[in-house]
Each structure stands twice: as C-alpha cells, then as structure tokens.
Amino acid sequence: MQLLNDETYMRLALQLAEGAAGQTGINPVVGCVLVKEGRIVGMGAHLKRGTPHAEIHALQMAGAEAEGSTAYVTLEPCSHYGKTPPCSDRLIKEKVKRVVVGSADPNPLVAGTGIARLREHGLQVDVGLLERESRQMNEAFNKYILTRRPFVTLKTASTLDGKIASRSGDSKWITNPDSRSFVHTLRHRNQAIMVGIGTVLSDDPLLTTRLEVTGLNPVRVIVDSGLRLPLAAKVVTDRSSETLVLTAANAPLAKRNALEAAGVTVLECGAGPAVDLTRAMELLGEREIGSVLLEGGGQLNGSMLELGLIDKALLFYAPKIIGGGRLAPDSFQFAGFDSMEDAIRLEGIRVQQFGDDICITGYPLNR
Ligand code: AOF
Ligand code: ZN
C-alpha cells in the first residue's frame, strides 16, 4: 500500500482526469480532489467542454466542508471567464486553504495568473506535484492552445520487416486483438482519425471506435487530392460520425458536389495539385480539431513525417516477417535520406507489450 501523502491525492486526481480523456474536445482533462482533516470531502473532473471545470464539481460536493480544505488539482485553476467563470475565484470564495497544482496552464489566458491570484488572496499554493504525468495527459491541449494546430499521433501496425500488407495486399490482421483494442481506445481519445484515400480504396474501413464498451467516434478525415472517394464507401454511407475530405484545388467539381450532397464536408487545402498537408492541419485547427490520430497508409505517413507534422508515434510490431520487396507496402513511404545522420529520430521512447506484439512510442524530433 502507498504512503498517505500529497502524492496519494494527486494520483487520485490524475485518475479522475484520465478517465475523461477523449471527451473534453479541445479542452484539457482535469481532476480535482478536496481533502479536509484526513477525509476526502469532494472530487471532480472536467467532463465536457462548456460544462463546469473539475474544481467546481469538487467544491459543489464538499459544500460547507470546502472551508479550510486542501485542493489537489492536476492543472492550474483558471483565472479567466471562458465558457464558465474562473475557478480560482471560486476556490477563494469557498475559503480553501491550500491548493496543490500538478502543472501550470499553458493557455495564454491563464499561464500563471490563476496561481498568482490564489496566492494574492493568501492561499498556500504548491506547484509541480506529478508535473510530468499532468503535462503528458494533456499533450494535445498543450500544443493546440499555443498553436491552434492539432496534435498528431501516428499509429502503424506492421510486421517486423516494416510491412503494412503482404505483396498481394492482405493486411487482416497483422497485430493481435489486444493491440487492436488499444487502437480503438486511441480512436476514442482523439477528435479525428485521418487516413489516405489509398487505404479507403483498398480496405473500405468504417473508421469508428469499436470497444467492449461504447466509445466516442472521431471525425473521419480522408486525404484525397483527386476525389477518388467512392460514394458507396462506408465512410460516406455510414452516418455514425462526420466525414471530412481534404482535397486539392483542381479536384473535379461534379464529384465534389456529389460528395457534399451525400453529407460529406470537402475542404480545399492549398492551391497546388496535391493536398497541402500543412495547410490541412491549419484548417482542422480552425474547425476546433485539437487531436488527430493518423492511421496510414504508408504514403500519407511518409509525407506527414517528412513535413514534420507528426507529434507522436505509436508503432505496433507483430512478431511476423512477410517479405515481398517493393510489392509489399512499407509503413513509411518517402524519398528518404542518403546519410544515416539525416534519419528522423524519435525521443522519449517507451516500449509496451500487447501479448506477443510490441508497441514503441516516441516523439519525432521535427526539424
Ligand atoms: C480549470 N479547471 O477543469 C479546466 C480548465 O471555456 P472554458 O470556460 O471551459 O475554459 C477552458 C479553458 O480553461 C481551457 O482552455 C483551460 O485553459 C482551462 N481549463 N481549467 O481550472 C478545469 N478544464
Ligand atoms: Zn476553471
């Protein structure tokens, strides 16, 4: 059993926040635990954008017991009027004595002012407990709030020789059911899922979240310069989530109209003959998409990587070797580099095992 200390309660607050991952849109996930005289008197998490913040739920539960308590909050309490009034003012009003904060809020509207406000009013504020965990939980929010561009997580599933299909195109299945369930958890946690048209034409995927329990479906984003997307494709006919098609300037107008009539949103990305992926990320950001799960194929993965648009990569490897040379597609297709020195490096490497599959997580060092 763990020692009872500040960390115990902050871990609980982190767990409350983590449970809501994927359901707060561009807002961060935040957890709060209120403790007074050895008892938890309130708990809360931010559950949905536009609804109360974590602190408010916890204070509501505590009622009069909030007075003199310690608040453990994974993120700095806000100080601004957004969709809801400032949490720091409410903590002050309810006479909370001490606030332990996981990490400061990078939102320029907050950025330390929430902490300053609490201190000005005589509350004791301790910042940085389990800071790494707290920051990592909101890595998409942390990027989006400063850049208005989505945080892109790439997921690949390949054989040990880096193939995402056999020479005849067979890809069902490369990884095991445990790995695939985890991928559906990733879908739940991201606001959008993005694939290239090649993947749609070869697999006709649904791109929804399918788990033992109901998950949230991400917005489907298809990169399709020439609008080759068939009107009969599942991503067009299935209505369980929105479908966006990113296309190029000279895409055929009649097809565009037909797709729009079928309920698909078509966005033109740049003036060139191919989709300008950097511009595409801007457009997704403008539509308040703060996180994207990129699921291939190799061509799109390669282009996104080359352009420095991938923030995080989860590379699943099944213990199989399929061969097939050029006929079998690789997980990253791009021109590449002559010198090993120029290779794209990943940092912060973590290795997880799902049965006999392994998953390598890392952050590409974008130049
Ligand atoms: C907190 N506690 O639980 C959350 C915070 O539009 P609003 O009012 O929901 O404000 C959103 C901003 O508030 C968001 O960008 C982030 O800076 C902060 N989120 N702050 O004190 C919370 N979710
Ligand atoms: Zn707040």
Report ipTM (2 d.p.).
0.89
The answer to whether 302 is a known ligand-binding residue is: yes
Name every protein residue with a CB atom under 6 angstroms from any ligand 1 atom: 27-28, 30, 46, 49, 53-55, 75, 77-78, 82-84, 87, 105, 107, 110, 145
Q: What is the pLDDT of residues 199-248, one digit of tens each?
A: 999 999 999 999 999 999 999 999 999 999 999 999 999 999 999 999 99
Cα(237) to centroid of ligand 2, in Å?
A: 40
Strands 291-294 and 346-354: unpaired
Which ligand 1 atom sits nearest the alpha carbon of residue 44?
3
Strands 39-45 and 31-36: antiparallel
Angle between helices 6-19 and 54-62 (to 10 degrees): 120
> What residues sit around ligand 2, an ion, with C-beta below 5 angstroms?
53, 78, 87
The answer to whether 22 is a known ligand-binding residue is: no
Cα(311) to centroid of ligand 2, in Å?
A: 27
Catalytic machinery residues: 55
Cα(26) to centroid of ligand 1, in Å?
A: 10
The pLDDT value given to residue 220 = 98
Q: What is the pLDDT of residues 91-108, one digit of tens each?
A: 999 999 999 999 999 999
- Nearest ligand to the CA atom of 81: 1
Which ligand 1 atom sits nearest the alpha carbon of residue 81?
8
Burial of 207 (0-12, 13-18, 19+ CB in 10 A): buried
Cα(28) to centroid of ligand 1, in Å?
A: 7
pLDDT in tens, the chain (367 residues): 678 999 999 999 999 999 999 999 999 999 999 999 999 999 999 999 999 999 999 999 999 999 999 999 999 999 988 888 899 999 999 999 999 999 999 999 988 999 999 999 999 999 999 999 999 999 999 999 999 999 999 999 999 999 999 999 999 999 999 999 999 999 999 999 999 999 999 999 999 999 999 999 999 999 999 999 999 999 999 999 999 999 999 999 999 999 999 999 999 999 999 999 999 999 999 999 999 999 989 999 999 999 999 999 999 999 999 999 999 999 999 999 999 999 999 999 999 999 999 999 999 998 7
